Amino acid sequence: MSCHLPEQLQKAFWPHDVHVTKVTCASCHSLHPQQDTMQTLSEKGRIKICVDCHSDQRTNPHFNPASVPLLKEQP
């Protein structure tokens, strides 16, 4: 699997559509946390990836991305 850009997921045909299959980012990005490219992004950068598609969340007062854990801690 290679890395992807948000634009690629929005514009290209992606056979494993996250909305159709109800896959969360954490489904992929928590598999190998020590190698996860999401960890190299700032919190603001990670949030930007989400709101690139879900821009209506930017103005939603009930949306708090900081309350959603991105990665599970490994034992």
Extract the tokens encoding 45. 């950068």
Cα first-last separation, the chain: 26
What would the mean pLDDT of 25-43 be, rounded to a whole number?
65
Question: In which element (H, E) is residue 52 found?
Answer: helix 43-53
Encoded tokens for 62: 């009930």
- Higher-scoring residue by pLDDT: 43, 74: 43
What whole-number distance in Å separates Cα of residue 58 and Cα of residue 52?
10
Q: Are 39 and 71 in contact (CB under 8 A)?
A: yes
Q: Which pLDDT score is estimated for 44?
A: 80
The predicted model scores a pTM of: 0.33
The mean pLDDT of the chain is: 61
pLDDT of residue 41: 74
**Residue 40: per-residue pLDDT:** 74
- Please, which pLDDT band fits residue 1 given cuts at 50, 70 and 90? very low
Dist. CA 43–CA 66, nearest whole Å: 8
